[in-house]
Amino acid sequence: MTNSSKVLALKYRPQTFKDLIGHEEIATTIYHSIKNKTSTNAFLFTGIRGIGKTTFARIVAKSLNCEHALESKCENKCDHCKSITNSNHIDVLEMDAASKTGVDDVRELIEFSRYPPSVAKFKIFIIDEVHMLSKQAFNALLKTLEEPPKYLKFIFATTEVKKIPITVISRCQRYDLSRIKSEELFNYLSNIIKKEKKFVEENAIKLIVKISEGSVRDALSLLDRATISHKENLLRFEDVQKIFGYVSKSSYIDLLEIIFSGDEKKIINHYRNLYNSGIEPNLFLNDFLEILYYLKNISHLEKEGNNFLLNDTDYKKITSLSKKLESNDIFLFWEFTIKTLKEINIVANPNLLVEMFLIQLTHLKKKIPIDNIQKNIFENTLTKNVDVKNIRNQDTINQIKNIKQEDEKIEKKNNIEINNLDDLIEICLEKKEMKLKYDLENNVNLVSFSDMNIEISFNDKLNKNFVKDLSEKLYDWTKNRWLISFSKEKGAMSEKEKKNILKEKNIMEYKSSSGYKSLLKTFPDIELIDVENKDD
> Are 258 and 346 part of one and the same domain?
yes
Rg of the Cα atoms in the chain: 33
Q: How far is CA 15 from CA 83, 85, 114, in A?
A: 12, 8, 29
> Is residue 345 one of the residues assigned to a domain?
yes
Other CB atoms within 10 A of residue 141 CB = 26
Handedness of CA 34, 40, 41, 42 (dihedral sign): negative
> Are 164 and 274 part of one and the same domain?
no
> Are 388 and 451 part of one and the same domain?
no
Look up residue 181 and give its DSSP letter.
P
Residue-by-residue pLDDT tens, the chain, 536 positions: 455 557 888 888 888 888 889 888 999 999 889 888 888 999 999 998 899 899 999 999 988 888 775 554 455 567 888 888 888 888 888 888 888 778 888 888 888 888 888 888 899 999 999 999 988 889 888 888 888 888 999 999 999 999 999 999 999 999 999 888 888 899 999 999 998 888 888 888 888 888 888 899 999 998 988 888 777 778 888 888 778 877 777 788 888 888 887 788 888 888 888 888 778 888 888 888 888 888 888 777 654 444 556 666 777 788 888 887 777 778 888 888 898 888 888 888 888 888 888 888 887 764 444 443 334 434 444 444 444 444 444 444 454 445 444 444 444 444 578 888 888 888 888 888 888 888 888 888 888 888 788 888 888 788 878 888 888 888 888 888 888 887 777 777 777 777 777 777 777 877 777 777 777 777 777 777 777 766 54
173 strand-pairing partners: 43
- Bridging pattern class, strands 123-128 and 173-176: unpaired
In angstroms, the CA 127 to CA 57 distance is: 9
Among 117, 146, 176, the domain-final residue is: 176
Q: Which residues of 209-228 are buried (b: 16+ CB within 10 A; e: fewer)?
A: bbebebbbbbbbbbbbbbbe
Question: In sequence order, which residues have a C-beta less than 8 Å from that of residue 480 and are 6 or more positions away?
Answer: 408, 409, 410, 412, 452, 474
At 374 the three-state DSSP class reads coil
> Is residue 186 one of the residues assigned to a domain?
yes
Structure pTM?
0.58
Give the max Cα distance, the chain. 107
Q: What is the CATH number of the domain that holds 39?
A: 3.40.50.300
The DSSP result for 270-330, as a single string, is HHHHHHHTT--HHHHHHHHHHHHHHHHHGGGS-SSSS-----HHHHHHHHHHHTTS-HHHH
Among 138, 158, 176, the domain-final residue is: 176
> Are 463 and 349 part of one and the same domain?
no
Among 404, 435, 467, the domain-final residue is: 404
Q: What is the CATH number of the domain that holds 202?
A: 1.10.8.60
In angstroms, the CA 446 to CA 464 distance is: 17
Handedness of CA 381, 383, 388, 390 (dihedral sign): negative
- Bridging pattern class, strands 234-235 and 483-486: unpaired
What's the domain count of the chain? 4
> Are 462 and 400 part of one and the same domain?
no
> Are 282 and 376 part of one and the same domain?
yes
The secondary structure element, H or E, covering residue 6 is none
